[in-house]
Amino acid sequence: MLEQLLPVLPVLALILAAEFVNGWTDAPNAIATVVSTRVLPPYHAVVMAAVLNVVGAMSGTAVAATIGKGIVDPSIINTTTVAAAMVGIIIWSMFAYFMGGIPTSESHALVAGLAGAALATSGPSALLWEGWQKVLIGLLFSTFLGFICAFLIMLALYRIFYRSRPGTVRRIFGRLQILSAAFMAFSHGSNDGQKFIGAFTLALMLGGLIPEFRVSLWVILLCAGTMGIGTALGGWKIIHTMGVRLTKLEPIHGFAAETSAALVIETASRLGIPLSTTHTIGTSIMGVGATKRFSAVRWGIVGEIAMAWILTFPACGLIAYLVAYLATHLR
């Protein structure tokens, strides 16, 4: 067992490093609105997010299975493929973070990295169309459903509370937003938290440490805990970008955005669809902001975020391809 474990340890370490970066640069999206509206102090929000991310990650394994055996064919790739994908995620996410706190999608980074590395190590036959169909569906979920759902929820709340005093509305949704933020954190774990769990389990299987793809409880706890630590130690630039720079938010807006995003993410999680929680909460915040007036959303910031989203696929895919190619041919 020890002889099998030693070659796989660097790969597992890279997966945990990528999970840490996920917590640092992606998980803060789950608590950005509740912090920006001052409903919860930052560190209280971080603790809540860390705990509920773990609980969410333990709520199912459908997304982990899609990542682990639905994106690339496990029978014709190797641990080099997984390691190269993690390098692509780490480099791209850290670059975007330090270039201005731009949130990136670790979901898209992961599938793009796996695809790029698989192309370098095994060729086009390694890509599985069934899993990529789910990725494309997830892209539609996060981009359009997040915006539309948040827009409709916000319109309904305006209609229900249009005669209420602003102080009363703030007091009501100051309490309700704690619940919506908790729901958002749980849903983030149920989808995003599972992705690196899937990659970790895939590496264990490719390294011969487990006979088949089966997610273990210790893997869930290790990966989810690593993500929680990343969230606690970083992420404040992302919280500022998503919660403050996009549009001005009050608790009622935060409640609508978080509820919308969480509903979309949970639906996708139960269907085994990996989607971008960054996209989903981002478009939900845009949908909420658009109900006030079109100019209430700072579209210049939206453009910066959208450009990072667009570049994630080719950037991570290319980095992972180059790393896998060099690792394969320099042996």
pLDDT of residue 29: 67
Tokens of residue 327, six digits: 């690792």
Sign of the Cα pseudo-torsion (283, 289, 292, 293, in order): negative
Model confidence pLDDT, tens digit, residues 93-113: 888 777 755 666 778 889 999
Instruction: Name every residue whose Cβ is closer than 8 Å to that of residue 74 and which is 6 or more positions away in sequence.
Output: 68, 202, 205, 206, 213
Please calculate the CA angle 146-192-29 and round it to the nearest 5 degrees: 60
Q: How far apart, in Å, are the Cα atoms of 216 and each of 24, 210, 212, 220, 230?
A: 24, 10, 11, 7, 22
Which DSSP category does 211 fall into?
S
CA–CA gap between residue 89 and residue 153 (Å, rounded): 34
pLDDT of residue 183: 93
DSSP-derived secondary structure for 29-92: GGTHHHHHTTSS-HHHHHHHHHHHHHHHHTT--HHHHHHHHTSB-TTS--HHHHHHHHHHHHHH
pLDDT of residue 318: 95
Instruction: Name every residue whose Cβ is closer than 8 Å to that of residue 54 and which is 6 or more positions away in sequence.
Output: 189, 193, 220, 221, 224, 225, 228
The distance from CA 293 to its chain's CA centroid, rounded to whole angstroms, is 28
CA–CA gap between residue 140 and residue 134 (Å, rounded): 10
Instruction: Name every residue whose Cβ is closer than 8 Å to that of residue 124 and which is 6 or more positions away in sequence.
Output: none
CA–CA gap between residue 214 and residue 317 (Å, rounded): 26
Per-residue pLDDT of the chain (331 residues; tens, 9 = 90+): 566 777 899 999 999 999 888 877 766 666 777 777 778 877 787 788 778 888 888 887 889 899 998 999 999 999 999 999 999 999 988 887 777 556 667 788 899 999 999 999 999 999 998 888 998 898 888 878 889 999 999 999 989 998 888 889 989 998 898 999 899 889 988 888 888 999 999 999 999 999 989 889 899 889 888 887 887 776 666 665 555 555 567 889 889 999 999 999 999 999 999 888 878 888 888 888 788 765 555 666 666 667 777 788 899 999 999 999 999 877 6
What single letter denotes the amino acid at residue 293?
A: R
Gyration radius of the chain over CA positions: 19
Q: How far apart, in Å, are the Cα atoms of 32 and each of 73, 119, 184, 236, 276?
A: 36, 36, 10, 9, 15
Count of alpha carbons within 13 angstroms of residue 267, beta-carbon side:
15
Cβ-based burial of 236 (10 A; exposed 0-12, middle 13-18, buried ≥19): middle
Find, among 282, 297, 284, the residue nearest to 102 by Cα. 282
Q: Are 264 and 141 in contact (CB under 8 A)?
A: yes
CA–CA gap between residue 266 and residue 270 (Å, rounded): 6
CA–CA gap between residue 213 and residue 116 (Å, rounded): 22
Q: Are 133 and 266 in contact (CB under 8 A)?
A: no
Model confidence pLDDT, tens digit, residues 6-33: 789 999 999 999 988 887 776 666 677 7
CA–CA gap between residue 18 and residue 323 (Å, rounded): 15
